Amino acid sequence: MSLTVDLFQKHYDLREQEQAEVHYNDDIPYWFQRAIEEKDVDKLARSIVRSYQERNYQGLNEYLRGEKRITSLYYEHNAELLNRIIDELPSPPNTTLWRVEHFLEEKLKWAEKHIGKVLLVPSFWSTFSQRDRCPVDPTFQIEASANTRARMIADFTGFQLGEAEALYKSGTLFRITAVDTCVYLEEVDNVKADIVAYNGYTISQDDEDHEDLGPLSLSDMGII
């Protein structure tokens, strides 16, 4: 790992400073400060990723999607640190990934109206690198780019969720290419987003059908 211990010390300090005002659902291990003193960067990095896998994914992703309506330097730094750790992990063994979400039928109907649009996912996105590991039919089938922002995290942490997990960095862009039994996405970069995803999907003001309406979620549109 090329990361410095200072980044992990900042992670620890920000959580201590903000814990009284914001209830975080992750726990910093009792040995974290000792690992900082020992400059054990690999151990610290594994702790950050495993904390995300076990507990912190919900709170951090809600924050990144703008659902918490707070300002948290801790969450901002946590996202930056997790992204930098992900950068140093191995890419998925194949270019096709799958993601499972709720409300499959509703999302199929929604995606049919937005084929060709570019979707920005401000949060981290967990995917399956093996189709047969999906517990139910996948919502999304993703064609990863040559320089994909997804990385394999289970082997790094030793925390096996059973899905051969590949985690996408926050802020990844996907183009909706087709809809069949799932939504087909193509990972893209250096393009403008048309749609921002949060707890369902928000239609941005760049969408021709809603340019004067502002953001609309699936619930706003009567879909869920």
**Among 125-139, 162-176, 208-222, where is mean pLDDT lowest?**
208-222
Chosen domain end from 40, 64, 87: 87
Read off the pLDDT of each residue in 188-217 and give the average, rounded to a whole number.
59
Those residues whose C-beta lies under 8 Å from the C-beta of residue 162, and which sit 6 or more positions away, are: 133
Chosen domain end from 87, 111, 141: 87
Cβ(63)–Cβ(72) below 8 Å: yes
* Residue 168 included in any domain: yes
Residue 3 pLDDT greater than 70, yes or no: yes
Whether residue 100 is found in the same domain as residue 203: yes
Residue 163 pLDDT greater than 80, yes or no: no
pLDDT classification of 25: cutoffs 50, 70, 90: low
Residue 204 pLDDT greater than 80, yes or no: no
Residue 207 pLDDT greater than 70, yes or no: no
Give the model's pLDDT for residue 37. Answer: 94
Chosen domain end from 67, 87, 107: 87
Give the model's pLDDT for residue 7. Answer: 96
pLDDT tens by residue, 120-146: 999 999 999 988 888 889 999 999 999
Ramachandran angles phi, psi of 196, nearest 5°: -115, 130
pTM of the model: 0.84
Per the prediction, the chain carries an average pLDDT of 84
Whether residue 11 is found in the same domain as residue 43: yes
Instruction: State which amino acid sits at residue 179.
Output: V
Whether residue 28 is found in the same domain as residue 68: yes
Give the model's pLDDT for residue 179. Answer: 97
Whether residue 167 is found in the same domain as residue 83: no
* Residue 176 included in any domain: yes
Exposed / middle / buried, residue 58 (Cβ in 10 Å: 0-12, 13-18, 19+): exposed
Highest mean pLDDT among 4-18, 20-34, 55-69: 4-18
Domains in the chain, number: 2
**Among 3-7, 80-84, 183-187, 211-215, where is mean pLDDT lowest?**
211-215
pLDDT tens by residue, 100-114: 988 888 889 999 999
58/61 Cα distance (integer angstroms) = 5
Give the model's pLDDT for residue 219. Answer: 37
